[in-house]
Amino acid sequence: MSQPRRVSHWPLYDLRLRTERLELRLPDTALLEEMVDLVGRGIHPEATMPFGVPWTDLPSPQREREAVQHVLRSIAEWTPKSWVYLAVVTRDGRVVGAQDLKGVDFGACRMVRTGSWLGREHQGQGLGQEMRAAVLELAFAHLGALEAQSAAFHDNAASQGVSLRLGYEPNGSWLAPRRGRPDLMLGFRLTREGWLRHRRHQVTVTGVEDCLELFGAGGPVPGQPPE
């Protein structure tokens, strides 16, 4: 007699995104500790700041504690109307960074935004493109997204390069605060058609079926006839 399928009260913990080299998932306690250890070893040179919110400027251990709180807050405050899927990224079982996917009123507008970071020892190996491709696969192929947006400061060539290689197009610029002063932020936009043209990475997504309601993705895609 077959055993009944286990029902998770928070099925997002069973969601897995796998690429050629990486796995993305919500972190358990052990992975969360490993992630903040990586934060403590550094993400970027002190002379620059790639983030709009300069959280890496905080002194240790406040920086690591707020990183833990940020991950836990993304789970505690999740609703189908406003969510942040904040995945830890592992390679061969070792944490290399974090990748998020954000949706606000996703069921109506079908638009997502992304953000990410890699530990300094794991940069320059093409992992940033691979982990972004993983969440784009989740968004477009499984959640029914119509558009993805990203942004980077004008001198963040690595982030801009990831966007352009994955098919994003420039989408304007604006002034944004950077360590208390205005600086130029560049926007990038990826349509569903652009994603299909630049879909190069092998991505496997498992456990998503039980999560669709949490993502606000249970209904038909706007502008498309129901199946």
3-state secondary structure 38-80: HHHHCCCCCCCCCCCCCHHHCCCCHHHHHHHHHHHHHHHCCEC
Residue of higher predicted confidence among 76 and 51:
76
The mean predicted confidence, pLDDT, of the chain is 92
Among 20-24, 126-130, 174-178, 214-218, which stretch is predicted with the lowest mean pLDDT?
214-218
pLDDT of residue 112: 98
Average pLDDT over residues 69-75: 94
How does residue 223 score in pLDDT terms, banded at 50, 70 and 90?
A: low
Average pLDDT over residues 38-47: 86
Residue 225 has pLDDT above 50, yes or no: no
Measured between alpha carbons, how far is 98 from 25 in angstroms, rounded to an integer? 9
pLDDT of residue 152: 96
pLDDT of residue 226: 40
Residue 158 has pLDDT above 60, yes or no: yes
How does residue 42 score in pLDDT terms, banded at 50, 70 and 90?
A: confident
Measured between alpha carbons, how far is 205 from 182 in angstroms, rounded to an integer? 39
Instruction: Among 3.40.630.30, 2.70.150.10, 3.40.50.1970, 3.40.640.10, name the CATH number for the domain at 11-47+55-211.
Output: 3.40.630.30
Torsion angle (degrees, nearest 10) of CA 103, 139, 12, 132: -100
Count other C-beta atoms under 10 Å from residue 81's C-beta. 12
Average pLDDT over residues 157-164: 96
User: What is the tens place of the pLDDT at every residue in 75-97?
Assistant: 999 999 999 999 999 999 999 99
